[in-house]
């Protein structure tokens, strides 16, 4: 279930409708909350997609119809308030104040509706392809005996059960101490993608691709997947084309390219 308050906050932040202190607080929260960053990215993508539409599809027309209904529901009463009315009696003052204070909320409720509907219209496409073509779903490390306190072993256990946020915390600390370790860099980058930090992940993966480790082309594939997750088809295809025919991921890369066209 999507959290309406968080969606409204994303919309207000990106549309410049926050006071300085509220904006600062939101940016602090944004740094700590991967889900919130993903909502922000989705809002930007959907906002841009809606602006770029020329020939509306059935989904676009349905979205337009829904937003029209929301506008009528929320703003019809507000428009009526602009008509001439006698001055309110003292007993009515509280009621009038409440109506006025709701206007900004209703404005952003409509904008958030774009995000809510857009997430169902567009997001399943990108997340579906990412999940379909993601292949490093298990992390294997050479453990030192049965030492479960080894940080890499702990990170692998968290990664393998899908707790990417906690695995990332451990892998980030290890990566800072050993940035040249290709296995560490590779799995750290994937946890970044899984927690909505695609840009940061690409910095690590491109470094890895520029080297000569066994992860060179796996890294290229995951750079492409990071762009798929952000619905950037052009960049995704560009990175998939870097994978040579003799590589084990070549056929998978070609298949994904066809899906992106």
Per the prediction, the chain carries an average pLDDT of 75
Task: Count structural domains, the chain.
Answer: 2
Tokens 């993601």, residue located: 134
Do residues 69 and 154 both lie within one domain?
Answer: no
Residue 192 located in a structural domain = yes
pLDDT of 156-191, one tens digit each? Answer: 999 999 999 999 999 999 999 999 999 999 999 999
Q: Is residue 101 very low, low, confident or very high in pLDDT (cuts 50, 70, 90)?
A: very low
φ/ψ (deg, to 5) at 224: -60, -45
Question: 166 and 62: one domain?
Answer: no
Residue with tokens 């496409």: 125
In this structure, the answer to whether residues 12 and 111 fall within a common structural domain is yes
Tell me: do 180 and 223 sit in the same domain.
yes
Range of the domain at 108: 4-121
How many CA atoms does the CB half-sphere of 206 hold within 13 Å?
10
Q: Residues 154, 117: one domain?
A: no
> How much is the pLDDT for 104?
52
Cβ–Cβ under 8 Å, residues 25 and 13: no
Residue appearing with tokens 């509706």: 113
Which whole number is the average pLDDT over 67-84? 51
């Amino acid at each position: 279930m999507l959290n309406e308050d968080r969606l409204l906050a994303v919309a207000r932040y990106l549309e410049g409708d926050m006071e300085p202190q509220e904006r600062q607080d939101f940016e602090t929260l944004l740094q700590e909350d991967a889900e919130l960053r993903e909502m922000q990215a989705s809002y930007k993508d959907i906002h841009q997609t809606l602006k770029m539409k020329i020939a509306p599809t059935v989904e676009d027309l349905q979205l337009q119809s829904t937003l029209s209904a929301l506008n009528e529901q929320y703003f019809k009463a507000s428009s009526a308030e602009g008509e001439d009315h006698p001055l309110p009696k003292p007993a009515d003052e509280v009621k009038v104040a409440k109506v006025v204070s709701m206007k900004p909320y209703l404005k952003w409720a409509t904008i958030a509706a774009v995000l809510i509907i857009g997430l169902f219209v567009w997001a399943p496409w990108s997340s579906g392809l990412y999940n379909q073509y993601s292949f490093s779903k298990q992390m294997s490390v050479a453990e030192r005996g049965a030492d479960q306190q080894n940080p890499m072993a702990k990170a692998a256990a968290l990664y393998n059960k899908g707790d990417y946020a906690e695995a990332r915390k451990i892998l980030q600390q290890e990566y800072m101490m050993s940035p040249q370790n290709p296995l560490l860099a590779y799995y750290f980058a994937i946890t970044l993608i899984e927690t909505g930090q695609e840009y940061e992940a690409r910095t690590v993966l491109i470094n890895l691709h520029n080297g000569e480790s066994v992860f060179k082309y796996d890294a290229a594939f995951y750079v492409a997947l990071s762009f798929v997750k952000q619905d950037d088809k052009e960049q995704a295809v560009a990175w998939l084309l870097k994978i040579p025919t003799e590589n084990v991921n070549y056929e998978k890369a070609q298949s994904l390219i066809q899906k992106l066209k």
